[in-house]
Structure 1
Amino acid sequence: MGRAFPGFWAGQTLSALGSQVTVFALPLLATSTAGAGAMDLGLLGAAQMAPPLLFGLPAGSWVDRLPRRATLICADLGRALLLVPLMVLGWHGALRLWHLYAVAFLSGCLSVAAATACQAFLPALVEPQRLVEANARLGASQSLARLLGPAMAGLLVSWMTAPLALGVDVLSFLVSAALLVWLRVDESGPSASRPSRGLWRDMAEGLGFLWSQPLLGPVATCAGLFNLFGGMILGVYFLYVTRELGLAPRQVGSLGAVFGLGALVGALLAGRITARVGVGPALVGALALGALADLLIPAAGLHEAAALPLLVAAQALIGLTNPVFQSNVLALYQALTPEHLRGRVGAALRFLVSALLPVGSLLGGVLGEAVGVRQSILLAALGTGLCALGLLPTPLRGLRSLPTSG
């Protein structure tokens, strides 16, 4: 692992924690200070989730035109500056809901740029053979942030009130930016002299490269469809476990904690698993085990006594396999993509994989109304299994180590 990576990792961990605290602190600020109702919180959530769908693809073109480290620094500083007015307005009782909508949306836009730049910048920090391990460590930071973010937001708001709690978020972004400034790394960066051919053609170039690759194309397709079916499960999951299985809220919350812990463990073990079995088998195996875990969810409805143990096993296995799959997919993209295309190809991959998740959630709701909640989950789980089977005829099955873009 390169000497610059530990500082970069520390900075990205702080930035991820700050982002997660912000995600949960803004609704608390809306209800405690701005008097938000149900519709207001729905609009706030939409403002937080809209940027990846609106700017996920264009972000890749912009990242390929700018120095990646500078993009990350500006994203951290921008997110810190956006929170300062909320602190002041909240402290003086002048905060309005539109302030929160604007900050949530703009902060989300900067997070999209930061995530795209982070993936494109990583190969400048570590050796190619360590990309899986580096992605896994960054994934562990994300898992830790998702696990601790809600609790940290709640504690900070309880101790310091919501407006002042945002000051901790500001500090985390500033420290992250400082660590990036102090990095000593030779970043060749994108060619500033290469003329832009237009945003649409840039995005098409990224998508075209992704689909033309015999390894990346099938992975992107299967991962996108896997998320489509996963979204179908997630869309009706809480209805299923509470109404049909009769789980109490504390039990449902415990299942979420099991998933978070599993994801953290999976991220920590991803590098070792890949080193032992190889990139392709780890990637395909993780997807197959994730599909098996999905099948445990409808199986939980077969017997009341087995419901909770099967759901615990499902969430633990989903949590364990997700980081193994994701870290190998990211390493594969970083190894195969030329430096000047990494922003666009990475953005295309992220967009294709994530854009189908809300579509799946909607389809899950429609199918649940038509055939029943448990039956719709079973059909979706069978779909995730087909996605895993779809990778078996590809060259991925026997891929032991990362290839190169050359």
Structure 2
Amino acid sequence: MKGTRVPELLREQAFRRYWTGQTVALVGDQIALLAIPLAAVVVLGADAAEMGWLKTAELLPALLLNLPAGAWADRQAQRRRIMIGTDLARAALLCSLPVAYALDALTLVQLYAVALGVGALTVLFDVCNVVVFTALLPTERYVQGNSLVNGSRSMAWLGGPGLGGLLVGLLSAPVALLTTGLTYLLSAERLSRIAPVEPPPAEPEPGHFTAGIRWALREPLMRSMFGATATVQFFNFIFHTLFVLYATEELGLSAGMFGAVLSVAAVGGVIGAVCSGAVVRRIGIGPSIVTGFATFTIPLMLIPLADGPTVLVLGMLFAAEFISCAGVMLVDIASGSLQMALIPDGLRSRVLGAFRTVTHGFRPLGAVAGGALGTLIGLRPALWIGTAGAVLSAVWLLGSPIARTRALPEPAPLTHPTEATTGTH
């Protein structure tokens, strides 16, 4: 895997179109990530409990829908077309918010409904996306492809919050969401112009619905990643639920200042994405995952520690986000590539659906806990619980086979999804 092959990957038209659509949509995601909670806080005066419910509405589909969505997607022949449909539907839902705002009819109930709908469509998009990605690239290029996609994510982190803060300041939070709707439309257009050869749909069989989770629980590497990711998701979403409220109300930062700090700090994500391939080659895929989890979680403890003059507070937030962004890129690229290499074609959507049910499903639980803790004990103590608890995620990995896994494994041979067995890694 030589570094000179990355530009070659971008010269391939199909992957370039896929990557371009994903890149633009990721910027839109970052704008929405800032604009929706700001619409709740600034326009509708939401409190900590209502912010918790908003985040829960956004994330609840991950708990309820990933498993059935993965089972359904594995039986479809055209996952790319499903992704296009979800992009169009997400654009329509988000564009309904500025329309309601213009008519002076925007309510928290509509914000909850849109967050729930977009969350459900995102689940369906993601379980199909892993199949399309692996259909575009051979196994040995997964790390390279994931580095490019996650590099786009880090660039979105870099520009998205600042752009979102600027748009919110100029247009108001609901109107700024028009931009996100447009990015989903462009993503749909890019996907409509590729034609990867997708694996055939899975045949109906007994246990189809639960085959993914049963396979994953028998696979030692996947079990360890389940535990680590579930832990970090729960505690990190205690943190994320309260972060905007904490920064604007307790630390006294304006929307523009807050967005600017996050944008500049996201350079750490760019560095993490650029360096991830070299790190994986140097220390191996498993140690890279362990290192990424530690680098992702430990620095965030600076945020509830932030206090004093505004310059010092901004510096602590910048340091925390800069280092954490680098760590999360290493986690996403290394662990995503390991999963893609490990999972058999006939089970990809089901295993991803099971993985996200067990792990991402902890997000709404963390959001509810964050809202409750913020109300009961205050924002700063609740953030201490969220950041310190996330550090515990690395414990799942230290004594697991992941820490000893150096190279991407070959996927287990699969003759029947319910009979899948794991190889020796």
- Please tell me whether residue 71 in structure 1 is matched to residue 82 in structure 2: yes
- Please tell me whether residue 50 in structure 1 is matched to residue 54 in structure 2: no
Q: Which residue is 1:271 aligned to?
A: 277
Q: 1:209 Cα deviation (Å)? A: 1.4
Q: Which residue is 1:285 aligned to?
A: 291
Three-state SS of the structure 2 residue aligned to 1:185 is coil
Q: Which residue is 1:195 aligned to?
A: 204
Three-state SS of the structure 2 residue aligned to 1:38 is coil
- Distance, in Å, in 2 between the alignment partners of 1:160 and 1:241 is 21
CA deviations over 1:253-286 (Å, ceiling 9, x no partner)? 5653454332233223322322332211111111
CA deviations over 1:20-40 (Å, ceiling 9, x no partner)? 4455556777899xx745379
- Distance, in Å, in 2 between the alignment partners of 1:403 and 1:262 is 29
Q: How does 1:334-345 map to 2 (within 5 A)?
A: 334-345=340-351
Distance 1:280 1:31, change over 3 A: closer
Q: Is the 8 A contact 1:135 1:331 kept in 2?
A: yes
**1:186 is matched with which residue: 197, 206, 212?**
197
Q: 1:210 Cα deviation (Å)? A: 1.5
Q: Which residue is 2:233 aligned to?
A: 227
Q: How does 1:252-331 map to 2 (within 5 A)?
A: 255-294=261-300, 296=302, 311-331=317-337
Q: Is the 8 A contact 2:91 2:185 kept in 1?
A: yes
- Sequence identity percentage: 32
Q: How does 1:3-402 map to 2 (within 5 A)?
A: 3=12, 4-22=14-32, 36-38=44-46, 42=51, 46-66=56-76, 67-82=78-93, 93=103, 97=107, 101-153=112-164, 155=166, 168-191=179-202, 194-195=203-204, 197=206, 201-232=207-238, 247-249=251-253, 255-294=261-300, 296=302, 311-360=317-366, 383-402=389-408
Q: CA RMSD in A?
A: 4.2
Amino acid at match of 1:249: L
Q: Is the 8 A contact 2:269 2:326 kept in 1?
A: yes
- Distance, in Å, in 1 between the alignment partners of 2:178 and 2:237 is 34
- Distance, in Å, in 1 between the alignment partners of 2:385 and 2:398 is 21
Distance 1:239 1:167, change over 3 A: closer
Distance 1:363 1:127, change over 3 A: same
- Distance, in Å, in 2 between the alignment partners of 1:232 and 1:188 is 38
- Distance, in Å, in 2 between the alignment partners of 1:287 and 1:161 is 36
Distance 1:188 1:231, change over 3 A: closer
- Distance, in Å, in 2 between the alignment partners of 1:174 and 1:44 is 24
Distance 1:189 1:94, change over 3 A: farther
Q: Is the 8 A contact 1:27 1:41 kept in 2?
A: no
- Please tell me whether residue 403 in structure 1 is matched to residue 402 in structure 2: no
- Distance, in Å, in 2 between the alignment partners of 1:81 and 1:374 is 37
Aligned length: 396
Q: 1:307 Cα deviation (Å)? A: 6.9
Amino acid at match of 1:105: L
Distance 1:202 1:261, change over 3 A: farther
Amino acid at match of 2:149: L
Three-state SS of the structure 1 residue aligned to 2:188 is helix
Q: 1:137 Cα deviation (Å)? A: 2.1
Distance 1:8 1:288, change over 3 A: same
Report the TM-score when normalising by structure 2.
Answer: 0.75
Structure 1: state its 5+ residue gaps. none
CA deviations over 1:353-387 (Å, ceiling 9, x no partner)? 22324434555677789999877766766654543
CA deviations over 1:164-218 (Å, ceiling 9, x no partner)? 7665544433332222122142222423xx1265xxx544222211111111111
Q: 1:234 Cα deviation (Å)? A: 5.1
Distance 1:104 1:252, change over 3 A: closer
Report the TM-score when normalising by structure 1.
Answer: 0.78
Structure 2: state its 5+ residue gaps. 1-8, 413-425
Q: Is the 8 A contact 2:97 2:175 kept in 1?
A: no
